[in-house]
Amino acid sequence: MPEGDTVWRAARELHRALGGRVLTRCDIRVPRFATVDFTGETVQEAVARGKHLLIRGGGDDGWDIHSHLKMEGLWHVYGHGEKWRRPAFKARCVLGTEDAVVVGFELGFLRVIPRAEEDEAVGYLGPDLLGPDWDPDEALRRLLEQPERPIGLALLDQRNLAGIGNVYRCELCFLAGVHPLTPTAEVPNLPRMVQLSKKLLEANKERSTRATTGQLRGNTLWVYGRSRRGCLRCGTPVALEQLGDRETELRELYYCPHCQPRLDAQAEAALP
Ligand SMILES: [Zn+2]
């Protein structure tokens, strides 16, 4: 499941293959942009912006190839003549240089925009957890703009902070010991949760295994995907529900009813 760390790593790999190179091939397999051809132009850089990936080329007033991996997307870098590890019909974008071929497969989203429109395209995103503009105070301010919104949704909304996907939102709620439906303003230590988001993405950005438990094999996650196995900490069956709203897609929500009790349930339990 691509999240900010996956996209950060993809951008770095694409940057190594394309940054400063002249394109010898440009094949965009999306009907609307099928006639776009940047062959002969130079790519400046590939950068991640939250879960979005921008390949910038053609100089300062040039163009961007703006993509999003969504659920299944991935980018591969190949040598010339190397066999692709995915079927060619799934390729949405093929960029070649003298040394390499970069292929984007099953991208959930791909378009070409003038550089001048970049801000319109990704400017709405909140502080990028892995970006040079990371600003925890601003992320906190944005999260608290909707104090009643469940934290499980607020974390997923890229306008608050950019880079968290479904795995991290579930794991972060677990690590904070909060039920995902807890109103954002009632999360006991929200600044710490924001800090922890940054820490988890930083820790995972260099590796292909996404771990929140400190273990890189086997039990890498506390609750995500564990509805059959139970909570890694206490063994209670992990609850699986769907949670989304107008700004976020409906996605599976995993949580441990024991480690992450509802606050109203806690209040009830405390009654004499
Ligand atoms: Zn538990």
pLDDT over 90 percentage in the chain: 90
124-142 pLDDT tens trace: 999 999 999 899 999 999 9
pLDDT at 117 exceeding the cut of 80: yes
What is the H or E stretch that residue 265 is in? helix 263-270
pLDDT at 270 exceeding the cut of 90: no
Inter-residue contact 33 to 15 (CB < 8 Å): no
pLDDT over 70 percentage in the chain: 97
Residue 241 Cα to ligand 1 midpoint, Å, equals: 16
33-74 pLDDT tens trace: 999 999 999 999 999 999 999 999 998 899 999 999 998 999
Confidence of residue 237 (pLDDT cuts 50, 70, 90): very high
> Which residue has better confidence, 224 or 208?
224
pLDDT at 265 exceeding the cut of 70: no
On average, the pLDDT of the chain sits at: 95
> Active-site residues: which are they?
2-3, 51, 251
- Give dist(CA 241, CA 258) in Å, integer: 15
Structure tokens belonging to residue 22: 């002249």
Predicted pLDDT of residue 268: 62
Q: What is the mean pLDDT of residues 154-163?
A: 96
Inter-residue contact 19 to 46 (CB < 8 Å): yes
pLDDT at 264 exceeding the cut of 90: no
Residue 236 Cα to ligand 1 midpoint, Å, equals: 5
Predicted pLDDT of residue 1: 76
Predicted pLDDT of residue 246: 85
7-40 pLDDT tens trace: 999 999 999 999 999 999 999 999 999 999 999 9
Residue 228 Cα to ligand 1 midpoint, Å, equals: 13
- Give dist(CA 57, CA 8) in Å, integer: 18
Which residues lie at CB < 5 A from ion ligand 1?
A: 231, 233-234, 236, 256, 258-259
- CA quadruple 256, 262, 268, 271: dihedral, nearest 10: 80
Residue 157 Cα to ligand 1 midpoint, Å, equals: 25
pLDDT at 193 exceeding the cut of 70: yes
Residue 225 Cα to ligand 1 midpoint, Å, equals: 14
Predicted pLDDT of residue 240: 97
